[in-house]
Structure 1
C-alpha cells in the first residue's frame, strides 16, 4: 500500500473512531500533500508525489512541530507543547523507523568506508550517500556533525 493510501485509510479510521486529535493531524498531512502537488503541477510530467517526497514532507512537518513544542515549553504553554508532541507521534507513524545512535554511527562508518572518504572535503559525498541509503531514517543535521567529526579524526 502506498504511503498516500495509508494516510487516507488512517484518516477514515480516525473519523470512524471519532479521534479528533488524530483526525485533525491526518487532515493537516493530507492538506500539506495536496498543497505540494499543486505547487508541482506547473512542472512537466508531475502526476503526483512519490513516497519519497511524502516522506520528506512528513519529516519537515515533524521538525516544525519539534521546534514549536520547544518554543511552547520555553513560554510555559505546556498544553500546546503536549498537542505538538501528540501530532509528532501521529506523523511519525508514517515515517520509516528511525535509526538509533549506534545504527547511525554504523551507517556513517559504512558510508565512509564504501566511498574511501579521507578528509572533510569528502563530506558532501558521504552525506549524499547517507541520504540515498537512509532517507527519512535519521536527522541529517545531527548526522552531518558526526560525519564531520569522523572525517576530521
Structure 2
C-alpha cells in the first residue's frame, strides 16, 4: 500500500496527492496567523490534563477538495473531523492538543496511525469566514453536505 503522503491508486489517481505528509517526528505549523481580536484561550480547551482536548465544533464534518466526491473514498483529499479525531484518507489521528489563534484558526496535534505505522503530527486548520471552506496546512477543502443516514 502507498504511504499516506503518496498519491492513492484507483479512482483518485488523477487527483493530486493531498493526504497529510507523514513526518519522522512532528510536523510544525506556521507561526503566522490572524487573531481577529479573539482570546484564543477562550476558544479551545486549556489542554490542562483535566479533560481531553477537542477540535471546536465549527470545524466538525466531512471536507473534500471535490464536492462531487463527498461521502465516498473516490478522492484522497477527504477529511472527516470529529471533536477528538481526524480521519484522513489512509490514517486516523487521536487529538492530543488544540491551540487556537482565533475562532477560525487552530493548530491540532494528534497521534496518527495508518498502514501499520504510527506518528505524531500537527496541522494548522483555518476555517473561511463563511464556514464553507477549510484550509488544512496548504490545501483548501469544501464542507460536504450532511448525508442522510442510511435506513
Same fold (TM > 0.5): no
Larger strand fraction of residues:
2
Please tell me whether Structure 1 or Structure 2 has the larger radius of gyration of its CA atoms.
Answer: 1
Larger helix fraction of residues:
1
Question: Shorter-chain TM-score: which interval?
Answer: under 0.3
| Larger RCO (CA under 8 A, 6+ residues apart) | 2
Compute the TM-score of the two structures, normalised by the length of structure 2.
0.23
